[in-house]
Amino acid sequence: MRLWDGRQWPCAGRYAGAPVFTYGWAPTGLATVRQLAALGLRPAGQDVAGWLVWGPGNRPRWAYLYRVDLAVPKRPMTPARWASVARCNAAQQVCPTCGLDAGYRIPRSLGECWDCHAAAAAARTSLAGAA
């Protein structure tokens, strides 16, 4: 297939009008969102330039590919955005069981702080032992 810069490049086919590249065969100049973020860039609303596919044939994984030359610098964090992130993190540190600030983010798998979880586990163990 012919790329945007005139180069010929082999691809594994097309999907939704964009070329599909297998892992390791994407041309230079295309990057995933994470690769753009590592470069301090963002896609900035551009259309998908290609697809990256990897993994087993029965459960393939897909990623969008964007052109690096059309990407723009990431927006800097403003003081208001830093404050918003701090408020979100603070809200996730309050245990719903005891209502205290745990000092760390409450694990979603537990739904409560480690102290409340340990106390509930001990109570379940003592009830099971008494029966």
Give strand pairing partners of 101: 94
Rounded to the nearest integer, the mean pLDDT of the chain is 90
User: Three-state SS for 4?
Assistant: coil
Phi, psi of 42 (to 5 degrees): -140, 155
pLDDT in tens, 79-122: 999 999 999 999 999 999 999 999 999 999 999 999 999 999 89
Contacts for 64 with CB less than 8 Å, ≥ 6 apart: 32, 33, 48, 50, 51, 52
DSSP assignment of 80-106 equals HHHHHHHHHHHHTTB-TTT--B-SSPP
Residue 117's pLDDT is: 93
- What is the DSSP-derived secondary structure letter of residue 68? S
Residue found by looking up tokens 């393939």 in the block: 60
30 C-beta neighbours (distance < 10 Å), count: 23
Distances (CA, A) of 50 to 26, 30, 32, 63, 129: 9, 8, 10, 9, 60
Residue found by looking up tokens 């032992």 in the block: 129
Residue 129's pLDDT is: 66
